[in-house]
Amino acid sequence: MFNKLEMAPPDAILGLTDAFKKDTRAEKINLGVGVYKTAENTTPILGAVKAAERLLLESESTKSYLPIPGAAGYCAAVRELLFGAGHEIIANDRAVTAHTPGGTGALRVASDFLHTLYPEKQIWVSNPTWANHNAIFMAAGLTVQPYPYYDYENTCLDFDGMLTTLKIVPEGDIVLLHGCCHNPSGMDPDLDQWKAIAEVVYERNLLPMFDFAYQGFGDGLEEDAAGLRHFCQPGKELLICSSFSKNFGLYNERCGAFTIVGADADGAQKAYSHMKIAIRTNYSNPPSHGAAVAEAILTTPELRQQWEDELAAMRSRIAEMRQSFVDTLARLGVEQDFSFITRQKGMFSFSGLTKDQVNQLREEFAIYIVGSGRINVAGMTPSNMDRLCTAIKAVL
C-alpha cells in the first residue's frame, strides 16, 4: 500500500530546520523556524525555568494522570496572564481553560470543538497567516476563508481591506486574530484599530478566536494583551489559543492553553464539557512538565520577576537586531528602504524577498528563510549580521 503513495512535501517551516541541520557549510544561518537565539547563537533554557525545574524535582510526588484539561493551578495562572488579575471575566467565572500540547494543540482542540458543534461555520484567517493554520483547520474539517491583512506594496496593515471584508463575513462565523506579533508579517493593529476591529466583530455577531503565541515579545506582557482585552467585554464570547513555547522558551515541552470565554458562567461550563470531549478524543490528557514549570514561575514572585526580566532581555535583543539589520543594509549601500522592519513586532518580519531570492540565499549563501520571505529576526546576531546583509545585497 505504501509504495504506491506519492511523497508528501516537507513542512514549510519545520522541513527547513531539517534541511538546515543537514547543510554542512559552517557559515550557515537559520532564519526559518521561530526559535529565539542569544547573541551567541544558542537557545539556552531560561534561568527561571531551570530554577522551577529544581523546585519540581523535589516537590513532584506522582506521575499519575492529570485531569483532561490539565492542572487547575496552571489554567488559573494562564487566565490571569491573559486577562489581568481580578478581571470581570475571572470574577464571574466566565472563562474555562485547558492545558494543551503547545499552541498547535490548542488550535486543533479549538478546531475540533468548533467543527463538532458548528459544522456549518467557516473560519476566517488573515492573508497571510502562519503556514500551519490552514492545515490544522482543514484537518479538523473547517472551511477556511481569507481576509486581507498585509499590504505588501506599502509594507503596512491593510486595515481598510480587513474591515471591509469582516463586514461581509456571515453572522456566527469565526475570525482568527493574532493577539500580537503577527506571524508571519510582524505587523500588528494599533489600539484604535483593535477597537474598530472589535466593534465590527461584535456588531456582526462573529466569534473571535485569538492565536496568542508571542505575549511579551512585542512591547511587554501587559501591552501585548491590550488588543485581546478590547474583546473582553461583558457578555461577549471569545476563544484564545495560547503558546508558551517562545516566551518561556519551553519549545519542546509543548506547553500551551485553550481558553473559552462564555457570555456567563453557565455558557462557559457548557462549552467546557464539550472542550473536554475534544481533548479526550485527541490525546486524552496533557503531559505535565511544561505546564508545571510555567505555573511555578507564574505563581512564585521571585521566579516571576526573573522570568519577566529574561523575557524583557529577549524582547530588547530582537528590537536591537531589527535596528541593526536596517542600519547594516544601509551601510552596505542597499538602496531599497527596509525601515519598515523596525515598525514590525515580535520574532518575524516580512522581508519582501521573493521566492527566487530566498532560494538563492539558501543555495549560494547557506541562509535559510521561509519561502514567503518571512525572516526570524530572533535568529540574527551581531556576528552573523554582516554576512546576512551582504548576501541579501547580492540577491536583491
Residues that bind ligand LMR (CB under 6 A): 13, 33-34, 130, 132, 183
Query: CB-hemisphere CA count at 13 Å for 229?
Result: 18
Which of 36/83 has CB closer to ligand LMR?
36
Helix, strand, or coil here: 97? strand
Give min distance, CB of 34 to ligand LMR, in A: 3
Give min distance, CB of 132 to ligand LMR, in A. Answer: 6
Around Cβ 235, how many Cβ atoms within 10 Å?
A: 11
Residue 246 bears catalytic tag: yes
Residue 208's DSSP bridge partners are: 175
Q: Which of 7, 62, 40, 74 is nearest to 297 (CA)?
A: 74
Cell numbers found for residue 182:
503577527
Closest residue to ligand LMR, judged by C-beta, is 34
Told to judge if 21 belongs to the known catalytic residues of this protein, a careful annotator would answer: no
- Alpha carbon dihedral 176, 177, 183, 186, in 10-degree steps, equals 160
Annotated catalytic residue, options 173, 188, 211, 224 = 211
Q: How far is the CB of 32 from ligand LMR (least distance, A)?
A: 7
* Closest residue by Cα to residue 104 from 125, 74, 134, 81: 134
Min dist CB 242 to ligand LMR, Å, is 13
Closest to ligand LMR by CB, 130 or 212:
130
Rg (CA), the chain: 21
The three-state secondary structure class of 124 is strand
Catalytic residue among 37, 112, 124, 130: 130
> Which of 130/137 has CB closer to ligand LMR?
130
211 is catalytic: yes
Beta carbon nearer to ligand LMR, 20 or 130: 130
CB neighbour list of residue 48: distance below 8 Å, 6 or more residues apart: 248, 297, 303, 304, 306, 307, 310
Q: Is 82 helix (H, G, I), strand (E, B) or coil?
A: helix
Helix (H, G, I), strand (E, B) or coil at 331: helix
User: C-alpha 352: how far from its chain's center?
Assistant: 21
What count of other Cβ atoms lies within 10 Å of the Cβ of residue 377? 27
Instruction: Name the packing angle between helices 289-299 and 301-331 (round to 10°).
Output: 100
Nearer to ligand LMR, 51 or 140 (CB): 140
Q: How far apart are CA 267 and CA 134, in angstroms?
A: 28
**Grid cell digits, residue 100:** 494543551
- Look at the chain and count its residues: 396
Q: Given the complex with ligand LMR, which of 184 and 262 has the nearer CB atom?
A: 184
Query: Which residue, 89 or 255, is less far from ligand LMR as judged by CB?
Result: 255
Catalytic residues: 130, 211, 246
